[in-house]
Homo-oligomer: A and B are copies of this chain.
């Protein structure tokens, strides 16, 4: 089968890879209907993260089950499925508490690489959620978004305790930040402040429910959020970048006793203990337990209540993955969908 492989920073090639097979009786093999490129894929692409190379790429996917191991019960051959970027058993104590991305048996789908024609899904019963019937092709981008960016933005909004009566600020205008706006609004937030300096992203943020746009960054961005919140800061802040500046911007934009939900994969971040202490904020985040939210998100998408697939502003055949990486690296695209 064909699949994307990173050979060196900036060097993505779609090439022949071994067809996946059932390894454990709990595995499934899916034919990938759509995959995509994640902001976090850019870290190794840019050489900032240095994984062992060559590396199979991609961890987001929707597809059709082609084969199941002998112990798989919850999904069947032919099912259209959505899964998280972490495979999880969904039965251990950590999973049952809602933290499937930290399942005691978690397998990173990034180590498998879903930007490919097929993929092996470990612990299929715990990892995959089948849609009711084969979905309308127009829903595929939204279902694919649920696999990571929507689930991650949703988790960030839940971690930030977005809800009725709350003012929510969102740091980061990538796909996750934009879907954090959507999630915050859907969870009932009264006011959602999107922080973005890009017109197209501002427009999408407004469509997703942002009530205010702040174009300033860093201390000026903090001051703008305070200005909009009676000097107190937002109740809830979503952090969806992962840098020192964005984390401090998020913490400083939050009122004492408020909540920061952070999902940007942290790179070279060191949080000053004294400032964090006196900020009095709640801090929660990490790799989103997308599996917790998948059933609900799939239902909302099928019902047409949310349309997260709009974050995909470029669709390419899998074979053109390299073009997709370039477009995202140069911020010409918010998020790129790949069709094998």
Assess whether A99 is in contact with B283, with CB atoms less than 8 Å apart: no
In the complex, chain A residues 218-268 whose Cβ is within 8 Å of any chain B Cβ: 230-232, 242, 244, 247, 255-257, 262, 265-268
Q: Chain B residues near A133 (CB, 8 Å)?
A: none
Q: Which of A244, A257, A269, A271 has the most CB of B within 10 A?
A: A257
Bound-complex Cα distance A231 to B283 (A): 24
Chain A interface, >50% SS class? mixed
Q: Which one of A52-60, A119-127, A274-282, A328-336 contacts B?
A: A274-282
B280 engages A282 (CB within 8 Å): no
- Determine whether A285 belongs to the interface, using a CB cutoff of 8 Å to chain B: yes
Given contact pairs A101-B280, A102-B280, A284-B282, A94 touches B273 in the complex (Cβ within 8 A):
no
* With contact pairs A257-B99, A287-B280 given, residues A271 and B270 touching in the complex (Cβ less than 8 Å): yes
The answer to whether B273 touches A270 (Cβ under 8 A) is yes
Within 8 A of B (CB), among A64-108: 93-94, 97-99, 101-102, 104
Question: A247 is contacted by which of B255, B270, B273 (Cβ under 8 Å)?
Answer: B273
A277 engages B282 (CB within 8 Å) = no
Q: Let me know if A286 is at the binding interface, CB within 8 A.
A: yes
Report how far A136 CA is from B284 CA in the complex, Å.
44
CB distance from A25 to the nearest CB of B (A): 25
Given contacts A271-B271, A276-B271, contact A102 B282 (CB under 8 A): no
> What residues of chain B lie closer than 8 Å to A97, measured between beta carbons?
257
**Residues in chain B near residue A101, CB distance under 8 A:** 280
Quick one: which of B94, B244, B286 contacts A279, CB cutoff 8 A? B286
Instruction: State in angstroms the CA–CA spacing of A301 and B286 once bound together.
Output: 40
Given A272-B269, A283-B282, the answer on whether A98 and B277 have CB atoms closer than 8 Å is no
* Residues of chain B contacted by A286 (CB below 8 angstroms): 256, 276-281
Residues of A within 8 A of B (CB): 93-94, 97-99, 101-102, 104, 230-232, 242, 244, 247, 255-257, 262, 265-274, 276-287, 289
Told that A102-B280, A104-B232, A266-B273 touch, could you supply 7 new A-B pairs with CB distance under 8 A? A101-B280, A102-B257, A268-B273, A270-B272, A270-B273, A277-B285, A281-B286
Residue contacts A-B, CB under 8 angstroms, 20 given: A93-B230, A93-B232, A94-B256, A94-B257, A98-B257, A102-B257, A242-B273, A256-B286, A266-B273, A266-B276, A267-B273, A267-B274, A268-B273, A269-B276, A269-B277, A270-B272, A270-B273, A277-B286, A277-B287, A280-B286
